[in-house]
């Protein structure tokens, strides 16, 4: 399935819009990661535990969005966007959404010499 953050896909035209599809995940901080992050705040540097947490969350949310699109028999998802929000202290939601569409390749007329 083609997934893009643009409104169109080069080489294809949208034949029908199937609707909005979305995926989300709410994750809480891990005490071990929180301690490591506190130490990093003192010396600086990447918070790898949180980077991994976000990567896992993004992957899960995308998988859930793709599952909805497959149920609609979509060929692609266009205009994909991500959003985050705090749900409660220590927990955040990662949300991804886009428009499920049916597409067809654009057929180029051949020129005969």
CATH of the domain at 96: 3.30.110.70
Residue-wise pLDDT tens digits, 51-109? 888 899 999 999 999 999 999 999 999 999 999 988 877 788 999 999 999 999 998 76
Please indicate, yes or no, if residue 72 is contained in any of the structural domains: yes
Give residue 112's Cα distance to chain centre: 44
Range of the domain at 8: 2-105
Q: How many CB atoms lie within 10 A of CB 9?
A: 18
Instruction: Tell whether 73 is covered by a domain.
Output: yes
For residue 112, being part of any structural domain is answered with no
- Interaxial angle between packed helices 31-43 and 48-71, expressed in degrees from 0 to 180 and rounded to the nearest 10: 130
When divided into structural domains, the chain yields a total of: 1
Look up the pTM and report it.
Answer: 0.81
């Amino acid at each position: 399935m083609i997934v893009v953050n643009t409104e169109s896909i080069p080489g294809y035209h949208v034949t029908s819009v199937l609707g909005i599809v979305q995926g989300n995940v709410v994750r809480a901080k891990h005490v071990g990661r929180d301690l490591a992050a506190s130490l990093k705040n003192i010396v600086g540097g990447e918070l790898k535990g949180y980077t991994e947490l976000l990567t896992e969350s993004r992957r899960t949310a995308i998988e859930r969005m793709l599952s909805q699109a497959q149920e609609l028999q979509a060929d692609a998802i266009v205009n994909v966007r991500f959003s985050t929000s705090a749900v409660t202290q220590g927990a955040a939601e990662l949300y991804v959404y886009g428009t499920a569409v049916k597409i067809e390749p654009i057929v180029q007329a051949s020129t005969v010499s």
